[in-house]
Amino acid sequence: MLSFLPAFILGPLSSGILVIYTICWWTGFFLFGSLKYCIPNERFRRFCTRILILLGTGWIDCNRFIIWFTQKIDWDVTGLDKLPGKDKWVLVFSNHRSWVDIFIVQNLFNHRIPFLKFFLKEELRKVPLMGFAWWALDYPYMKRYSKEFLEKHPEFKGKDLESAREACARFKITPVSVINFLEGTRFSPEKHQKTNSPYRNLLPPKAGGVSIVLTEMKDYLAGIVNVTIAYSPERVTFWDLFSGRVKKVKVRVDFFPVPEDITSGDYANDPVFREKFQIWLNSLWEEKDKLIDELKK
C-alpha cells in the first residue's frame, strides 16, 4: 500500500489514478449512453441501462480498491448485516458532511443493496465526463427555484416535485436504492448558523422531495436505510481523502420498514399530513444528532 507516502505526493498520485481510470470507464458510459439515447426502443434502452449499471458498479469497485491501496483509514462500521439484499428497493437517508460521503456510501453498499441513485442539482449536469454518465444512468437532475424567482414566475411552482415524480416512475423499472441527503447541502458551521438549525451536528432536513419518493414508491420500497457518518478529523474534503489525511471513518447503518402513516397523504396540499410528516422526520434527525455526538467522543 502507498499510505506511507507524504501527502504532497500521495494526493496527486491517488487523484491522478482516479482521473485515468474514470476516463477509461467513461468510454463505456459514452458508448452505451449514446446508444440508449439514439435508439428509441424501450426494451433496448432497458438493456443499455443494465449494462450501464454494471459499468457503474465496476467504477465503484475501482474506487474502493484505490482507497484501500493508497490510504490507511481506521474503519468503524456497524449495521451492514441489517441490509435487505440486492433485489429490494430501498430509500437511503444520510447526513451530509462532505463530498467524501458519496465515496463512503458507495463503497460500503456496492453489491449489498441495489445500485445507488441520487437526486442531483441541475448544475452538476455540466460536470465533465460524469455529468453525461449520471444522465445515462438515469440519475434525476433537479432544478431548485428560489422564493424570489417563484414570486416572479409562479408558473414554475411545483416543477421540482413533478420532476421527482417522473424520476420515481423510472425507479420502478428495476430494483434501485434511492439515496437522499436530506440536508440538501454539505454541513458547515456557517450554514448551521444561517439556517438557525435546532441540531448540533446537522442542518434541518428538507421534507418535500423525500415525501414524494415515499408516497410514489410505497408499494415498492422494502424499507429505509438510515446512515450516519462521522469523520476524524471532522471536516474533510476529497483532497484530504486522497492525501491520506482522513484517519478514521465511523458509520452507523440502521434499516427499518417504512411507516404506513407517512405514505398516505399529500404533503404539498394537506397541512395536517405535512405536519405529521415533519414531526416524524425531525424525530429521526434528533436521534441522528445524538448519535453523531456519541460518534465524536
Decide: 246 and 100 in contact? Cβ < 8 Å.
Answer: yes
pLDDT at residue 6, as a whole number? 87
pLDDT of 78 reads: 97
Q: Check if the beta carbon of residue 194 is closer than 8 Å to that of residue 201.
A: no
- Encode the chain (297 residues) as per-residue pLDDT tens digits: 778 888 889 999 999 999 999 999 999 999 999 999 999 898 999 999 999 999 999 999 999 999 998 889 999 999 999 999 999 999 999 999 999 999 999 999 999 999 999 888 888 888 888 889 988 888 888 777 666 766 676 766 766 777 778 888 888 888 999 999 999 889 999 999 999 999 999 999 998 889 989 999 999 999 999 999 999 888 899 899 999 999 999 999 999 999 988 988 888 889 999 999 999 999 999 999 999 999 998
Q: Directed axis angle between helix 208-216 and helix 159-171, to 10°?
A: 40
Strand segments (E) across 166-296: 177-181, 221-232, 248-256
Whether the Cβ atoms of residue 66 and residue 14 lie closer than 8 Å to each other? yes
Peptide bond just before 154 cis, omega within 30 deg: no
Tell me the three cell numbers of residue 206: 428538507
**Helix/strand/coil for 126:** helix
Q: What is the pLDDT of residue 297?
A: 83
Q: What is the pTM of this model?
A: 0.91
Give per-residue burial for 77-116: e unless 16+ CB within 10 Å, then b: eebeeebbeeebbbbbbbbbbbebbbbbbbbbbbeebbbb
Domain 74-296 has CATH 3.40.1130: yes
Give, in degrees to the nearest 5, the angle at Cα 262 between 261 and 266.
110
| Contact residues for 22 (Cβ-Cβ < 8 A; gap 6+) | 59, 129, 130
Model pLDDT, residue 162: 77
How far are the Cα atoms of 36, 197, 268 from residue 253, in angstroms, in the given order? 35, 24, 30
Looking at residue 138, its pLDDT comes to: 86
Domain ranges for the chain: 74-296
- For residue 45, CA distances in Å to 32, 129, 139, 141, 163 come to 9, 20, 15, 19, 20
C-beta atoms surrounding 257 within 10 Å: 10
pLDDT at 1: 72
Contact 227, 249 (CB under 8 A): no
